[in-house]
Amino acid sequence: MLAGEQFGRLFESFERTAFRLETLAVYDVEEEADEFRRFLAGEPMGPEWEDNPWIRSMTDRGKQVARVHVLTSPLTDYLRYELSAYPGNISAGESIGIIDLADGPGPALPDHDFWLFDDREVYRMHYTSAGRFIGAEPLTSPRLPEYRAYRDAAQTAAVPFSEYWERHR
């Protein structure tokens, strides 16, 4: 499994496209703890919320970044926090869709997160039960068609984030 810097290098080395399927209601990200606390307290979030520099670092080089988040309303505090940051990701060039299972059953998708890079590499994300990242498991190339199909089904079923947020904010 890849973690830390080794996993981070994937975002520098992909050439064209990166897609993520997100499935958790809570992610326990140590680096977000202070920002999450500020969000819950209603404090200002800072300029990176207006235009996410991490996303911008990829899209400014002509790369496409997309995600679909599968969730169920009502939103957890963490999801309210994460979704509140999405407009800055979109400003930086990320395409984001939402599948809310409270609106009805979604397409047949895995019950885990994954990243698909350039339609050539897929990594299954592993987390603890509390949502802390453990590592990314590279899946073998025979699994690529399956995960491409998951991506396509998720993107087809997803509501654009702006439409979702307008209804659920």
What pTM did the predictor assign?
0.95
> Regarding the domain delimited by 4-168, which CATH topology (the fold level of the hierarchy) does it fall under?
Endonuclease; Chain A (3.30.870)
In this structure, which long-range contacts are made by residues 85-89, counting pairs with CB atoms below 8 Å and at least 24 apart in sequence? 85/45, 85/49, 85/52, 86/161, 86/165, 87/49, 87/161, 87/165, 88/48, 88/49, 88/50, 88/51, 88/52, 89/52, 89/55
Cα 9 to the center of its chain, rounded Å: 17
CA distance 44 to 111: 34
Q: How far is CA 75 from the centre of its chain?
A: 16
Task: List the domain boundaries for the chain.
Answer: 4-168
- Is 138:75 a contact under the CB 8 Å cutoff? no
Cβ(109)–Cβ(154) below 8 Å: yes
Q: What pLDDT, in 10s, does the model give residues 107-155?
A: 999 999 999 999 999 999 999 999 999 999 999 999 999 999 999 999 9
55-92: per-residue pLDDT in tens? 999 999 999 999 999 999 999 999 999 999 999 999 99
